[in-house]
Amino acid sequence: MIRRFWAVLIGRNKEFLRDRGALGWNFLFPFFVVFGMAFAFSDKGQDVFKVGVVGDAAALPAGFAATRHLKFVTFDDTTSSLEKLRHHQLDILVQPGRPLKYWVNESSPKGYLVEKIMLGTDVMTSSPMRQAVEGRPIRYVDWLVAGLLSMNMMFSALFGVGYNLVRYRKNGVLKRLKATPLRAAEFLTAQVVSRLILIMSVFTIVYQGSDFFLHFQRRGSLFDLYLIFALGSACLISLGLLVAARVTSEELAGGVLNMLSWPMMFLSGVWFSLEGAPKALRLFAYSMPLTHLIDAARAVMTEGATLAQVSTHLWILAGMTVLFLVVGAWTFRWD
Amino acid sequence: MSVVLEARGLFKRYPKAAANAVDGLSLSVREGSCFGLLGPNGAGKTTTVEMLEGIMRPDAGEILYRGAPIGPSFREKTGIQFQDTALQDHLTVRELLDLFGDLYPQRLSTQELTELCDLGELLNREPEKLSGGQRQRALLALALVNDPDVVFLDEPTTGLDPQARRNFWDLARSIKARGKTIMLTTHYMEEAYALCDEVAIVDKGRIIAQGTPDSLLKKHFDGVVIELEGEEIMTNDVEASLDGLRKQGRSLAHLRVRPRTLEDLFLALTGRGLRE
């Protein structure tokens, strides 16, 4: 049994490794996405200090407001602006008035500098009141990277396994294998493991490679992150197998896979958080495996969560994996 | 010789089909023989043979291997060359032989298969880059990888040129010489005549004639065919036919006389050509 599984696994891996085009694309595409997004959302004008103003910017002391190389951004209240200050998206936050209140992030060097600059202007006439906040910088790319890598995994898992299996069925490869003592479970397990090896290799290279240049903030354990991504990709591969269990037409398989992947791409929190979205939408998002993968991975990266803290997501992913695999193997057809 | 494979009263109907694809078909194949299943496209040959292979389940009827109903272990005893098979991309013939060999409890070595199927320089090439005849040899080697008892060849020479077809026949004969039983489907009558010990002619899911190629010809009609200017005249008395043609004042310059073939027999039995 192990020998048969092994034979199919080795064969599938060779097949993939020699398909240069597909291999190159699988490794290069995620790099393009991560770097493209990092570039698109990078902070432009790094030498400008960003000053958040709560209320009316015109009420700022005129000397301070006229300081060059300061960019003033206004906010209605302190809730979202303080969050931005904590994540270093603002260098200082000012509320005009008498006394003039300001908040500064003590772990931000730019915050330290802009405070010195501000106190050297006519702000002193407004008897400023200082309040300190703490927080490490989180760039959008730090928040985004878990979602981008998960989304790439989703496409690789669904289309790489699902589409390929349908192609195998259509061109008779599966029928040829059916004529041997190979069992469906052995064959399917080999497909899952082969794709899992590929996906985790791509993940390792892309994550470590882009981390080298972009220095992601990762507050939780790297091991935990790998474990979450491995479980998540196993779940998505199983979903691909389930779709391809009986389908004989590549067009139909493509349609179903698109129908699954597009909602996941937009609603599972890859690009934006669903906090504040309507409840029905959030419930729908929670039925998708990608949501649980991204939530768990993002919590580990940006909040330093432990496995225990994201265990709900992990159990749901594990349960879905088992369900998809069992139903997929049960309904599987060779021809 | 004992019976290796036997089918009793096989029925199969595809969903939404108007008629049974296989309609009460029975046959038995003797050990070490080559049994040919002949018929036009759509006659039910492939359906029959896939049921015999254990790939497809009959709606009714039973299939016995050495007297016992076929089960999962039957796959270890059979080798199959499908009519059209794709193989995993980017693997060489040698790697495919190893992959398929590992799926069975026992296997022939690559060297034995190379000698048997004349693989030679094909081993390190990918099947999709081979010519038709080379590809069929590689597929035959895959069918033989588990040293099977019964070898199924489903239209193995369709689309091959005459030279490659004859080479394949030589391979089939050498497999038979190793004591293997061969179940061949074909719509080439000369192929059945060249290889088969016994032939069953299938039409509309039923066997309409069965026997050795010679006995079938003898039983259904003696005599020869006179071909003249595109016309075919079947006759038992060549002299009388020629006299008749002369009396009609026809020129016999391009006349040809040949023995009747299974093709003629099929035409006589079904009223249709084989490749219609």
Helix, coil or strand: residue B59: coil
Whether residues B75 and A10 touch (CB distance < 8 A) is answered with: no
Q: Least CA distance to A3: which residue of chain B?
A: B102
Considering the domain delimited by A49-133, tell me its CATH architecture. Answer: 3-Layer(aba) Sandwich (3.40)
Per the CB < 8 A criterion, the answer to whether B184 and B5 are in contact is no
ipTM of the complex: 0.82
Task: Given CATH 3.30.830.10, say whether it is the number of domain B3-216.
Answer: no
Q: Which of B50, B76, B90, B139 has the most A C-beta neighbours within 10 Å, making it the best mutation to test the interface with A?
A: B90
pLDDT band at B275 (very low <50, low <70, confident <90, very high): very low
Whether residues A14 and B75 touch (CB distance < 8 A) is answered with: no
Whether residues A179 and B53 touch (CB distance < 8 A) is answered with: yes
Domain boundaries, chain B: 3-216, 222-259
Cα dihedral sign, B127-B130-B131-B137: negative
Q: Copy the structure tokens of residue A335.
A: 């021809």
Whether residues B55 and A175 touch (CB distance < 8 A) is answered with: yes
In this prediction, residue B131 carries a pLDDT of 85
Burial of A115 from C-beta contacts in 10 A (0-12 / 13-18 / 19+): buried
Give the residue with greater pLDDT, A89 vs B39. Answer: B39
Distance from CA of A220 to the nearest CA of B (A): 41
Whether residues B90 and A11 touch (CB distance < 8 A) is answered with: no
Whether residues A180 and B89 touch (CB distance < 8 A) is answered with: no
Query: Residue B238 pLDDT more than 90?
Result: no
Helix, coil or strand: residue A204: helix
Q: Dump pLDDT digits (tens) for B69-83.
A: 998 889 999 999 987
pLDDT band at B276 (very low <50, low <70, confident <90, very high): very low
Separation CA A171–CA A182 (nearest Å): 18
Q: Dump pLDDT digits (tens) for B202-217.
A: 888 899 889 998 888 7
Domain boundaries, chain A: 2-40+139-331, 49-133
Select from A51, A60, A49, A57 the least CA-distant residue to A125.
Answer: A60
Longest dimension (CA), chain B: 71
Query: Residue B90 pLDDT more than 50?
Result: yes
Range of lowest pLDDT (A31-35, B64-68, B145-149, B190-194): A31-35
User: Alpha helix locations (H) across chain A?
Assistant: 2-18, 20-40, 62-65, 79-86, 109-119, 140-157, 164-171, 173-178, 184-214, 222-244, 250-267, 279-286, 289-303, 311-331
Select from A173, A335, A155, A331 the least CA-distant residue to A245.
Answer: A331
Q: Sort strands A49-54 and A92-95 into parallel, antiparallel or unpaired.
A: parallel
In this prediction, residue B272 carries a pLDDT of 62
Q: Is the CB of A4 inside 8 Å of chain B's CB atoms? A: yes
- The phi and psi torsions of B6 (rounded to 5 degrees) equal -140, 135
Q: Sort strands B181-186 and A101-105 into parallel, antiparallel or unpaired.
A: unpaired
Give the 3-state secondary structure of B184-196.
Answer: EEECCHHHHHHHC
One digit per residue, pLDDT tens: chain A, 335 residues? 788 888 888 888 888 788 777 777 777 777 777 777 777 666 554 557 889 999 888 888 888 888 888 888 888 888 778 877 887 778 899 998 888 899 998 888 888 888 988 888 888 888 888 988 877 667 778 888 888 899 999 999 998 888 889 989 988 889 889 889 998 888 998 999 999 999 999 999 989 988 888 888 788 899 999 999 999 999 999 999 999 998 888 888 888 888 898 888 888 888 877 766 788 888 888 999 999 999 999 889 887 889 999 999 999 999 999 999 999 989 999 88
Q: Is the CB of A171 inside 8 Å of chain B's CB atoms? A: yes
Q: Least CA distance to A17: which residue of chain B?
A: B90
Burial of B258 from C-beta contacts in 10 A (0-12 / 13-18 / 19+): exposed
In this prediction, residue A275 carries a pLDDT of 67
Residues in chain A closer than 8 A to B89 (CB atoms): 15, 18-19
Query: Residue B26 pLDDT more than 80?
Result: yes
Whether residues A10 and B99 touch (CB distance < 8 A) is answered with: yes
In this prediction, residue A276 carries a pLDDT of 66
Query: Residue B23 pLDDT more than 60?
Result: yes
Q: Dump pLDDT digits (tens) for B98-109.
A: 999 999 999 999
